């Protein structure tokens, strides 16, 4: 005669914990989605504002001159809707000559973080010293507009909020998965 093990009873408390993890995950994911969308809109608006009223602008190959302040500046490639060339920020190289005669090379293909928003793409950024600064950009044979503008605090904050929103989406998904698959072992 064999002895059968009694069935393991699941308690209502375990089920409530699982459901609460799933609900929390959904709430976190939805909130993070809203934050991510808002940050994305802020980035697009910030880049659009930079293209409408930049510190300096020119066409490739060409040079933009500006009276820089001690600040961080960003170089953006601006494509028109009618542009059919294959040129992009990835094949654009810029040389920045600062007021203190230091030279910086910005290679669009070698950026720590590249942002594409609307018709703009970042080529790179640099920290300027006060005085006349020149930015010379070349995109191969392409004739494209590029602008130089200060990095705004709105854009900087929006980038961090965007990363936080993505992290929140991942955390919400993790809570949902944990709630679905969590089983208490006895």
pLDDT tens digits along 65-115: 888 888 888 888 887 666 655 566 667 888 888 888 888 888 876 665 566
Cβ pair 87, 142 in contact under 8 A: yes
CATH assignment of 54-151, among 2.60.120, 1.10.10, 3.90.550, 3.10.590? 2.60.120
The model's pTM is 0.61
Write out pLDDT tens, residues 26-49: 899 999 999 989 888 887 787 777
- Helix (H) / strand (E) containing 93: strand 93-97
- Going by C-alpha positions, the residue among 135, 107, 134 that lies closest to residue 123 is 107
Cα–Cα distance measured from residue 169 to residue 174, given in angstroms and rounded to the nearest whole number: 9
What is the spatial distance between Cα 106 and Cα 146, in angstroms, rounded to a whole number? 13
User: Mean pLDDT for the chain?
Assistant: 79
Residue 60 has pLDDT above 50, yes or no: yes
């Amino acid at each position: 005669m064999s002895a059968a093990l009694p069935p393991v009873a699941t308690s209502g408390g375990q089920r409530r914990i699982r459901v609460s993890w799933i609900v929390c995950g959904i709430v976190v994911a939805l909130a993070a989605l809203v934050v991510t969308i808002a940050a994305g809109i802020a980035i697009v608006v910030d880049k659009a504002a930079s293209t409408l009223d930049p510190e300096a602008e020119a066409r490739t190959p060409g040079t933009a001159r500006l009276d820089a302040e001690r600040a961080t500046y960003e170089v953006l490639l601006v494509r028109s809707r009618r542009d059919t060339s294959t040129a992009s920020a990835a094949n654009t190289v810029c040389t920045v000559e600062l007021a203190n005669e230091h030279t910086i090379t910005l290679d669009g293909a070698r950026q720590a973080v590249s942002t594409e928003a609307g018709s703009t793409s970042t080529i790179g950024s640099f920290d300027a010293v006060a005085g006349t600064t020149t930015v010379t950009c070349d995109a191969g044979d392409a004739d494209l507009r590029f602008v130089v503008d200060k990095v705004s605090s709105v854009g900087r904050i929006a980038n961090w909020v965007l990363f936080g929103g993505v992290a929140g989406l991942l955390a919400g998904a993790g809570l949902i998965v944990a709630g679905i698959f969590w089983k208490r072992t006895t």
